[in-house]
Structure 1
Amino acid sequence: MLSRTADHLYWMSRYTERAENLARLLDVTHQMSLVPKSVEAENQNWGAILALNSLEARFAESYDEINAENVLRFMVMDPNNVSSIYSCLRAARENAHAVRGTLTAETWESCNMTWIEVRGQRFEQITTAGIGQFFEWVKLRSAVIRGVTFGTMLQDEAHHFIRLGGYLERADNTARILDVKYHVLDGDDEETSDFYQWGALLRSLSAFEVYRKVYRDVITPARVAELLMLRLDMPRSLHACMRGVVRVLEAIKNGQSAETERLAGILHAHIHYARIDDILKDGLHEYLTDFMDRIYELGDGIGRDFLVPAE
């Protein structure tokens, strides 16, 4: 496969997954904002989203104040923010268009229709209809694209690069959501750090019903972290994502990818043999920060070994 084709497929998948995970992060923050708290505390929660995505400076160029409306407008429909849901879906469509001949007709139409629908909306329309409804739509469209892709495409190299982009992006975003929300909730007082907020966090990662099935008990911070990080049978966990990355790299390896395979294997082993008690004892934030740094390094390796070199 040409590296340019692999590059477009990989980034099509990453941008689609990124839009979905951003919708999940914004949705859980919005749900948590419905619980009574001080204006300062609420704005800190919205500011944490900007900090998590290193967007404070870019946000400050267009907005004077960090609050729910401004952050939502910036992260949902701002075309000047390359990390907004709008921009991610646009980039996913552009990458899909570049390799339209490699995709099945159903995959292309799903991706293209998603972009057509989102570009026809304005932020005011979205908030009037209900911002939560929009986030559900983004998650549904991502699921449709993913389902159509893996249900119709030949399981060849193109399929592998789409999988690789999705796994890597999902691992990074699960770590980000858990990092920013775990400490906000764990630091709350008993009155606000309750079932509703922990349930909102789990639902943001489609993990609420899974948690109930696995633990059959009250929601606790340690178990939430364990489920989203270490459970191999949880589809969005760090462990499951890294196993997927290792398997895909094994299938597409070439003469120069040995180091990237090694880095992926080390990170997978780091998660596979971890214990939640040890992670929490040493510091969850430190563990997740290190994990995200390694994901970034792994992404660089994948780009160097398989994709179009950065100009």
Structure 2
Amino acid sequence: MLGRTAASLFWMSRYVERAENMARLLEVGYRISLMPRAIEGHRDEWRSTLTTAACEASYFAKHKEITTGDIIHHLLFDEDNPSSVRTCLETARNNGRAVRTALTRDVWESLNGTWNEFDQVKPESITTDRLPGFLDWIEQRAMLFRGALLGTMLRHDTYFFSQLGTFVERADNTARILDVKYYILLPKPSDVGSDVDIQQWATVLRSVSAHRAYRWFYHDSTYRPWLVAEFLILREEMPRSLTFCYQWITRALDGLAELYQQRYDCQDEAIDIYGRLKLGKMEDIFQNGLHEFLQDFMKANNQLATDIAQTYNFP
């Protein structure tokens, strides 16, 4: 496969995943901003959302202060923000169009239809009371794309490069949302274990559709920080956990190695990250620092994405 084709497939899936993740981050910020503590601290909650999304610099390049309306517009509709939902969906659609003949009709129509519908939405129509429903729609459209890809694509290089884009992006997002929760939202030790702390952990779980799954898995209605972190980092049963993502990254790279009859260093790199996650223990992670662990993971994940691009000659 040509490098530019592989790159388009990788970034097509990565940008769809990023659009969904952006909707999820907005949902977290919105829910937390409605909590009682947010009356005096809503700007910190929204700032943490910008930080998690890596959009703080782009936001303050255009705005002097944080307001709910400006945050929503910047993360959903701002064409100058390379990670806004609008930019992500448009870029994903353009990448899909570039490799249209490699996609099934269902995959292409899910991409094209989502972009066409989103493009008709007027930003001023998404008021705070309509925001949750609109975010749900974005998440559902991303799941439609993923379902079409999983249900109709042949298991060859087209599929493998698409899967790599999805799970590299998902792993980055899960690590970011955990890091911002633990390191930015709760700078005071006195907050840990408080009612506000527990509510925020519950909100984080809801943002990754893991609220009920957590309670079922641990048979516990109490949101314990170390268990939430374990669930989103180490539990392979959780489809947005870091370990689950790397299970699929290694599978995709194994598939490419088998298809092309050649093994590359990036495959061993992914296996090494996956192995460390599989053998990881939360007591060790917390003892050494959750923030430090997540920062190291994001650095390794970004390096893997760079190495994949170099290995397969992405332009």
Letter in 2 for 1:85: V
Following superposition, the deviation at residue 198 of structure 1 comes to 2.4
Instruction: Sort the Cα spacing of 1:231 and 1:43 in 2 relative to 1 into closer, same or farther, 3 A.
Output: same
Gaps of 5+ in 2: none
Distance 2:57 2:160 in 1: 36
Query: Once structures 1 and 2 are overlaid, which stretch shifts more, 183-192 or 131-140?
Result: 183-192
Letter in 2 for 1:197: Q
Q: Pairwise mapping of residues 135-146 of structure 1 onto structure 2 (< 5 A)? A: 135-146=135-146
1:273 aligns with 2:279: yes
Query: Once structures 1 and 2 are overlaid, which stretch shifts more, 125-134 or 264-273?
Result: 125-134
Following superposition, the deviation at residue 255 of structure 1 comes to 7.8
Q: Percent identity?
A: 41
Q: Pairwise mapping of residues 1-311 of structure 1 onto structure 2 (< 5 A)? A: 1-37=1-37, 41-127=41-127, 130-183=130-183, 184=185, 187=188, 188=191, 190-194=194-198, 196-217=199-220, 218-253=222-257, 258-309=264-315
Following superposition, the deviation at residue 256 of structure 1 comes to 7.5
Instruction: Sort the Cα spacing of 1:294 and 1:256 in 2 relative to 1 into closer, same or farther, 3 A.
Output: farther
After TM superposition, the score normalised by the length of structure 2 is 0.93
Secondary structure of 2:197's aligned partner: coil
Instruction: Sort the Cα spacing of 1:186 and 1:143 in 2 relative to 1 into closer, same or farther, 3 A.
Output: farther
- Taking only aligned residues, the RMSD between alpha carbons, in angstroms, comes to 1.8
CA deviation profile, 1:91-149 (whole Å, cap 9, x unmatched): 11100111111111111111001001111112221226611111111110000010011
Following superposition, the deviation at residue 231 of structure 1 comes to 0.3
Letter in 2 for 1:233: E
Distance 2:44 2:214 in 1: 28
Number of residue-to-residue matches in the alignment: 308
Following superposition, the deviation at residue 257 of structure 1 comes to 5.5
Instruction: Sort the Cα spacing of 1:31 and 1:128 in 2 relative to 1 into closer, same or farther, 3 A.
Output: closer
Distance 1:162 1:147 in 2: 12
Distance 1:197 1:51 in 2: 17
Q: Report runs of 4+ in structure 1 exceeding 6 Å deviation.
A: none
After TM superposition, the score normalised by the length of structure 1 is 0.94
Distance 2:172 2:201 in 1: 20
Following superposition, the deviation at residue 213 of structure 1 comes to 1.2
